[in-house]
Amino acid sequence: MSPTSVAAARAPKAPKPFYANFGFQVLAAMVIGLVLGFIARNMGPDAAGQANWLTQTLATVGSSFVSLLRALVPVLVFTAIVASIANLRELNNAAKLVWQTLLWFAITALIAVVIGIALGLIIQPGLNTEVAAEAAKAPSSTGSWLDFLKGLIPSNILGLQASTRVSDSGASTSLSFNVLQILVISIVVGIAALRVGPAADPFIAFTRSFLKVIHKVLWWVIRLTPIGTIGLLGNAVAVYGWDALAQLGWYSAAIYIGLAIVLFVVYPVLLQVNGLNPIRYFQSAWPAIQLAFVSRSSIGTLPVTERITEQNLGVPREYAAFAVPLGATTKMDGCASIYPAISAIFVAQFFGISLGIEHYLLIAFVAVIGSAATAGLTGATVMLTLTLSTLGLPLEGVGLLLAVDPILDMGRTAVNVAGQALIPTIVAKREGILDQATYDRGESIEALDDAQAVPAQ
């Protein structure tokens, strides 16, 4: 190769125009979604009293994007967990890394729930609300410790559940998946593959290859995020507007203040204590946090979270491939700590029920131990019912909060994902396996080629 060719090969690539930046596209989509949402809300219902065409269009676009993400979740969780367990055999201190990861999951969850309890007692959102008592109604699905324990036992090898609904037009059957059951199945299969030894090598190789394919497909779906953002955010504004937020203003403010404290105070302090620059962390992790905010899906954000954890934050591939998928299903500082703590206190205050120190200890216990229920059942709402039932509070209180749940869920998911990238980084630093030079660069995901979108396994 001639010197000219070498120089050309080493020359930096021309910077992308600002409108080609993925982050800019998402931000622009949020603005467009807000504008279209307000237009749709001001248009009002159609002549038949149904949602107007613009609201229906936004709802269809948003739900289609979420459906694409959900369609890939079962196979993504299974292949990611099995491959990550197989990768642990390449680490000399695998057992210590696992326990350190779980310990830090619990520590940050405890910190988050204490902040939630403190804010609930200081702001008193249940006493400062304009929502009517008539809005209280029991949720259609609830959580209990029995449901959680039963959910650990897979009903079938695929972790699928079928439900049939009978109506005047006939019966319809739909399939859903239980992420917690898929997680249990994946862990068992991964451990079994390790115990089998060389005979399982073809299976592990196939799983790793399949995971790369799923990551690539999911990356294509993620590229549709700007379009999905317009639909999701626009529909939320069109359906809920600011009326629900005004009625639950102090409650919503308490949730977002708690999320902000965890994201911008607690996490930076933990990073600083462990000798890591918080600014560098946010420079690297922001694309995943941003995507989580608009998609409201930790698992849907998983490929981006794993990619930035490994390639931007400097966590070794073998460890990141284990910790990030595990965190995507069980590490929920937003949904399982801040949210249920403040919400439980809101419900108690609204119904005039006094809580003692034992109740606050139970809230902390549920947040630290029951986080997996958030993935295993149907999300943060069921995690809230699990907390309320443990405290003996009326489940009808959940109905008071459902109007603003989609708006709160964006912030909750962003904090969830931030924590899922944070813990592997801290543990890797403490164990001396973090690539400090990579971390200190604070590289943005936009600096990486799309060909690198699929992390090596």
437 vs 93, 313, 321, 440, CA distance in Å?
Answer: 22, 9, 20, 5
Classify the C-alpha dihedral 44-47-48-51 as positive or negative: negative
- Residue 142 is predicted with a pLDDT of 47
pTM: 0.79
Model confidence band, residue 451 (pLDDT cutoffs 50, 70, 90): very low
Is residue 184 within 8 Å of 154, Cβ to Cβ?
A: yes
Q: Which residues pair with 167 in a beta bridge?
A: 170
The closest alpha carbon to 426, from 105, 92, 113, 112, belongs to 105
What are the tens digits of pLDDT across the range 293-329? 887 888 878 888 988 999 999 999 889 888 988 888 7
Is residue 119 within 8 Å of 442, Cβ to Cβ?
A: no
Separation CA 182–CA 328 (nearest Å) = 13
Largest CA distance in the chain: 81
Separation CA 269–CA 115 (nearest Å) = 14
243 vs 73, 94, 237, 404, 426, CA distance in Å?
Answer: 34, 51, 10, 10, 41
Chain-centre distance for alpha carbon 53: 31
215 or 123, greater pLDDT: 123
3-state percent breakdown (helix, strand, coil) of the chain, nearest 5: 75, 5, 20
Task: Give the type of residue at 33.
Answer: G
Task: Give the type of residue at 130.
Answer: E
- Residue 34 is predicted with a pLDDT of 87
Joined together, the tokens standing for residue 414 give 């962003």
* CATH classification number, 21-448, choose in 1.10.3860, 3.30.310, 1.10.1740, 2.60.40: 1.10.3860
Separation CA 309–CA 317 (nearest Å) = 9
**In the chain, where are the structural domains located?**
21-448
Q: Which of 5-19, 189-203, 355-369, 388-402 has the lowest mean pLDDT?
A: 5-19
Statement: residue 225 has pLDDT above 80? yes
Model confidence band, residue 16 (pLDDT cutoffs 50, 70, 90): low
What are the tens digits of pLDDT across the range 399-426? 778 777 878 888 999 999 999 999 999 9
Model confidence band, residue 453 (pLDDT cutoffs 50, 70, 90): very low
Helices 94-123 and 357-369: crossing angle in degrees, nearest 10, is 140
The average confidence (pLDDT) of the chain is 80
Joined together, the tokens standing for residue 423 give 């813990």
- Residue 302 is predicted with a pLDDT of 84
The closest alpha carbon to 70, from 208, 219, 157, 177, belongs to 177
3-state secondary structure 357-416: HHHHHHHHHHHHHCCHHHHHCCCHHHHHHHHHHHHCCCHHHHHHHHHHHHHHHHHHHHHH
Average pLDDT over residues 233-255: 79
